[in-house]
Structures are given as C-alpha cells and as structure tokens.
Structure 1
Amino acid sequence: MRIALCGGTGDIGEGLALRWARDSPHEVIIGSRDPERARTKAAEYEEELASRGVEVSINGFANEMAADRADVVVLSVPAYHLADTIEAIADRIDSDTTLVSPAVGMKRDDAGFHYNRPSGGSVVELAANAAPDDVPVIGAFHNLAAGTLANLDVTFELDTIVLGDDADAKGIVMSLAADIDGLRALDGGGIANAAEVEGITPLLINIAMNNEELHDLGVVFR
C-alpha cells in the first residue's frame, strides 16, 4: 500500500513516516508544499532508518505528486492548513483514496492549551467538508505525542481512536495503525464523534507540560 504524508516534514508526519517505514511493508511518500524540503526530509528519514539497520526507499515530492495514486493520504498539517492542502490535491485523489486527518485545533494562553473547536464541529468534519464528495475521510492519530512517535528509541503501548463513516476506509486505517508496533486502533464510531477525541489532545499536552515524568504522555484504554 502506498501512504502519502502531505506535510510529512512536520512532527507528526515524521513520526508516522519513520514508524511505518520501519514496522510495515508499505511504501511511504513524503509530501510538502516545497518539494525540495520533502526530498531533503525523505533522505533524512532514510538515513535515520539505515543507521538502525533498516534499508528502505522514501521519496519526497510536492503534496500534489505525493498524493497522486496514493492509497492513503495522511493530512499531517496544522488544522489551519487543512482546507488549503485538500484543495491542492483534490484533482489527484478519488473514491479509491482514503484521507486521514490527525490535526487538532488548539489555542494557547497563560493557563495552557485549549481545544479550539471549529464551527463545523471538528477538524475531521472540516476535512470531510473540504474533500471531494466521493473521497472518504477518516480521523486518527490525534492523541499521540509527536516526539514519542519520531523517537525510534522509545517503545510504547498506546491506543489511537479511529473515526469514520465509511466502514471500508475505517478498516484500512485501523489496519495501518495496527501495523505500527505498540499501537492499538480502537473504533470510535463516526466522524460526528471526532470533537470528543480531538479535545483530549490539549488535556494531554497540559498534563505533560506540568509533569516532567509524563513528557511523552499518551492514552491507553483498559
């Protein structure tokens, strides 16, 4: 399976790229608005994995080229770039493509981070509204610490909640999540439930900021 990470040069994109490239047989493609940056980061990811005895090929392209013919496109961009990124790749995706949104809208003040719920209900719902009508949108990977994902020295046992209204697309993303060692995918229902999941992320960040021993905090359901 071909996984394109649009915005794959950022924190969450880096972590997912490294983990999938190391733990699964899937082809990983890095996308960016700047294709040269995408190629540079892809080479850095290859070098990091090679230093750990994992020889894989990771290519970098502009977001549009990365998304072209991808089976799954992860929109690993901030919430405020989500609609623009989808618009840029819209003519490169179709009903056979699954879009994945891990973005969370947040704002920060002196007290800490707070969930900035979009007027559309959630960031996943914003993505669904911006995507072509026949392209399924799935929410996943919201509550994972990017630093934990990107640090391959860290072994974890964490859960990620997967949300979507298309059962087949949701199943694909749950399977991809389970391909990452130590990550369990849980079905959170439809995307109407996404706000509840996204809202956990600022809570985790605030706890991590105020408790040094919980720097790479995640969620496990028992």
Structure 2
Amino acid sequence: MRIALLGGTGDIGQGLVLRWSYDTDHELLVGSRDPEKARTKAEEYETELDSRGVDTDIKGFENAMAADRADVVVLAVPAYHLVDTVEAIADRLDDETILVTPAVGMKRDDAGFHYNRPGAGSVAALVEEAKPDDVPLVGAFHNLPAGGLSNLDREFEWDTLVFGDDDDAKDMVVDLAAEIEGLRPLDVGGLANAAEVEAVTPLLINVAQENDGLHDLGVRFQ
C-alpha cells in the first residue's frame, strides 16, 4: 500500500509516517507545499528509523505529486489549509484513492482550547464539499497526541475513532490504523458523526494541560 501524508512534515504527519514505517512495510510518501522541505524531512525520518534498525525508503514530494502516486492520501494539514490543499490535488484523485482527514478546527482563549465548528457542520464536511464526488472520504487519527505518536520509544494503548460513509474505504483505514502497534480503531458510523469526534481533541488538550503527568494524553474506551 502506498500512503501519502500531505503535510507530512508537521506533527501528526510525522507521527504517522514514523509509526507506519516502523510497524509495517507500506510505502510512505511525505508531501509538502515545498518539495525540498518534504525531501529533507523524508531523509530525517529515514535516519531516525535506520538508527533503530529499520531499513526503509521514504520519499518526499510536493503535495500534488505525492497524492498522484498514492492509494491513500492523509490530509495531515491544519484545518485552515484543508480546503486549499484538497482543491490543489483534486485532479490527482480518483475513485480508487481514499482520502483521510484527521484535522480538527480549534480556537484558544484564556480558558483553554475549544472546538471551532465550521458552518458546514464539521471540518470533515468541508473536505466532503471540496473533494471530487467519486473520491471516498474517511475521518481518523483526530485525537492522537502527536508528540507521543512520534516518539518511537513510547508504548501506548490508544483508540482512534473512524467515520465515513463508504464502508469499503472505512474498512481499509481501520485495517491501516490497526497495523500501528498499540492503536485500536473504533468505527463510529458515518460522516454525520464527524463533529462529535473532532470535538474530543480540544478536550484532551485541556485535560493534559491542567493535570500533571498527563502530557501526550490519548484516549482508551473501556
């Protein structure tokens, strides 16, 4: 499987690239608006993995080039760049490409972080409106602490909530998530449930910030 992480130079992109490279043999592509930045980060990831005895070949491309080569495209970009990113790669997607969004819209004030729900109803709904109609969309990886995910010395037992209206595409993302050691994907239904999933992230950040010993807080449902 060839997986492109657009925004793969950022926090959540880095964590997913490292974990999939460490735990699986999928081909990973790092995407960025700046192809040189993508190539540099890909080399850094390879060096980190090589130091742990993992021989891998991670390539870096401009976002559209990465998307064009991938079976699964993860939009690991901030929510405010999502629509622009999707529009920039739209002609590189088709009905055999699975688009994945982990993005959450948040705002911050003196009280902490809050979910910034867009007028479309959810951040995922913005992607649904921007993408080509025949490209399936799945939401996943929203509530994961990027720092803990990127630290390959960190063992964890976390859940990731997965939603989408295309069952086959959702099943594929569930399988990909389950291949990351310690990560359990849980199906929470269709795209209509996106806002409830996205809203968990600012809650977790607030809990982590207000309580000692809960840095890089994940969630497990029992």
The bucket for the TM-score relative to the shorter chain is over 0.9
SS in 2 for 1:30: strand
Structure 1: gaps of 5 or more residues: none
Letter of the aligned partner of 2:183 in structure 1? L
Structure 2: gaps of 5 or more residues: none
Structure-1-length-normalised TM-score: 0.99
SS in 2 for 1:95: coil
SS in 1 for 2:120: coil
Letter of the aligned partner of 1:126 in structure 2? L
Q: Among all aligned residue pairs of Structure 1 and Structure 2, give the percentage whose two residues are the same amino acid.
A: 71
| Equivalent residues in 2 for 1:12-23, closer than 5 Å | 12-23=12-23
In 1, distance between residues paired with 2:129 and 2:45?
32
- Distance apart, 1:216 and its partner CA: 1.3
What is residue 156 of structure 1 aligned with on the other side?
A: 156
Letter of the aligned partner of 1:163 in structure 2? F
- Distance apart, 1:120 and its partner CA: 0.4
SS in 1 for 2:216: coil
In 1, distance between residues paired with 2:147 and 2:123?
22
Query: Are residues 1:104 and 2:104 paired?
Result: yes
The ranges of structure 1 where at least 4 consecutive aligned residues each deviate by more than 4 angstroms after the TM superposition are none
- Distance apart, 1:69 and its partner CA: 2.9
RMSD: 0.5
Deviations 1:40-64 (CA, angstroms, capped at 9, x unpaired): 0000000000011101000000001
Deviations 1:119-143 (CA, angstroms, capped at 9, x unpaired): 1011111111110000011100000
What is residue 83 of structure 1 aligned with on the other side?
A: 83
What is residue 195 of structure 1 aligned with on the other side?
A: 195
In 1, distance between residues paired with 2:212 and 2:41?
30
Aligned length: 222
What is residue 124 of structure 1 aligned with on the other side?
A: 124
Letter of the aligned partner of 2:171 in structure 1? G
Letter of the aligned partner of 1:209 in structure 2? Q
SS in 2 for 1:161: strand
| Contact 1:69 1:93 (C-alpha < 8 Å) held by counterparts | no
